[in-house]
Structure 1
């Protein structure tokens, strides 16, 4: 239990430090303004999905079909109604890679392939819409389950803490939930935690 409290303390401390640094060194633009004007649009299509700046969390939901799986936490989607084809990275988690092959990387990819390939999902994005590789960062829902959390529950991913400063309140809530789920998988020695 002390380990869980320590992890929660580190997360909260990190968020507080990030907020303090932001107040000392404010950004030249408001993330909310950037997100509020962000548009998904495929070339030659009139289909647009915009965020609502009046929303308190600036979160948007996107219905999409999974058309290919790249690895355990990354896949390609086609936005419903003739939208763009995009690459999605599951937010706040990191699954083992497959190039080069890491332990449980193929298992994580197989899990996502079996669960999502060819199926329609709901993607929920927060303030950190894209990562450094241009992929959409999202929480994915399939049959009312959070896919990000399902990977953690099965020991096929770990919590990734590198973009916590860009989370909205819902993202912060997910982070806390994910840390607890990861701790349970560690205690049960599931997947990547089975050999540690």
Structure 2
């Protein structure tokens, strides 16, 4: 009888130990808090890179499409830069929440997700600002009706991509030259620190609002100057994907290198009527 009781106690102890071990495994793995995605790079208006538990993923926003940074139409390229800037303002360097619809990835291996920062639905916010079109990509259409409602409002308000273009008054640009192209950036892989330097060689202030700088070897990307007056003898720089207020704070918002390191490209500057002002290679 004593032996039977001892065997029962021994079995119960082994069972308890096994349960305790299982609980330890669960607590150390399955119950660990998930790592919130951290945005490490904003690629353009509708694509980002995120760090999830040490792994890097590209994320494509579902249900929308923003203008492309390499569009050969200067107006759309300008809107693409604006969308990229706004996207960076919303999510750059922040932890975000990702929501899946039906598909896991697209044909390029990018995660397809709805993106949130706190209470802001980023996909929807870009459409609301007129910086993205509401585009249906079946079967991922959970919020498509809502996105199309926001698009209709933006279209009614004529903002962003829906804005009616007004003819620009011609500006005479003289003595403004491309003086330097830093084509071999130091930042690995993306060379975001590349830049084109533009200088006013004249004796008077020169307005360059609406002037367009482009890589004519490829036909893209282009940069359209916002309201800007360049003082005599002063230089400004247009960086590939960096901001330097001391040089004007201008950027192509381009997520990869623009200027070819082995086969020289040609940069060209046009006035606001499309007439060439200056070109330079390296």
Instruction: Give TM-score scaled by structure 1 length.
Output: 0.62
Shift of 1:108: 0.3
Instruction: Give yes or no for the alignment of 1:67 onto 2:40.
Output: yes
Instruction: Give yes or no for the alignment of 1:93 onto 2:64.
Output: yes
Query: Which structure would you say has the larger Rg?
Result: 2
Please state whether the residue corresponding to 2:131 is helix, strand or coil.
Answer: coil
Identify unmatched segments of 5+ residues in structure 1.
Answer: 1-46, 49-60
Instruction: Give yes or no for the alignment of 1:151 onto 2:151.
Output: no
Q: Deviations over 1:135-176 (max 9, x none)?
A: 111000012111000000000000112x22x23xxx43x100
1:7 matched residue in structure 2: none
Contact 1:65 1:120 (C-alpha < 8 Å) held by counterparts: yes
Contact 1:91 1:148 (C-alpha < 8 Å) held by counterparts: yes
Hey, what's the Cα distance between the residues in 2 that align with 1:138 and 1:83? Answer: 19
Hey, what's the Cα distance between the residues in 2 that align with 1:63 and 1:69? Answer: 17
Hey, what's the Cα distance between the residues in 2 that align with 1:176 and 1:116? Answer: 24
1:104 matched residue in structure 2: 79
Contact 1:62 1:124 (C-alpha < 8 Å) held by counterparts: no
Task: Tell me which of the two structures has the higher relative contact order, counting C-alpha pairs closer than 8 angstroms and 6 or more residues apart.
Answer: 1
1:108-187 matches, cutoff 5 A: 108-161=83-136, 163-164=137-138, 166-167=139-140, 171-172=141-142, 174-187=143-156
Contact 1:66 1:75 (C-alpha < 8 Å) held by counterparts: yes
1:6 matched residue in structure 2: none
Hey, what's the Cα distance between the residues in 2 that align with 1:103 and 1:156? Answer: 11
The 3 A distance-change label for structure 1 pair 95 and 156 is same
Please state whether the residue corresponding to 2:82 is helix, strand or coil.
Answer: helix
Hey, what's the Cα distance between the residues in 2 that align with 1:109 and 1:128? Answer: 24
Identify unmatched segments of 5+ residues in structure 2.
Answer: 1-28, 166-282
Hey, what's the Cα distance between the residues in 2 that align with 1:192 and 1:146? Answer: 20
Shift of 1:195: 2.7
Q: In the comparison of the two structures, how many residue pairs are matched?
A: 131
Please state whether the residue corresponding to 2:96 is helix, strand or coil.
Answer: strand
Q: Deviations over 1:23-67 (max 9, x none)?
A: xxxxxxxxxxxxxxxxxxxxxxxx89xxxxxxxxxxxx9830100
Please state whether the residue corresponding to 1:63 is helix, strand or coil.
Answer: coil
Please state whether the residue corresponding to 1:187 is helix, strand or coil.
Answer: helix
Greater share of residues in helix: 1
Please state whether the residue corresponding to 1:138 is helix, strand or coil.
Answer: strand
Hey, what's the Cα distance between the residues in 2 that align with 1:178 and 1:63? Answer: 25
Instruction: Give yes or no for the alignment of 1:194 onto 2:163.
Output: yes
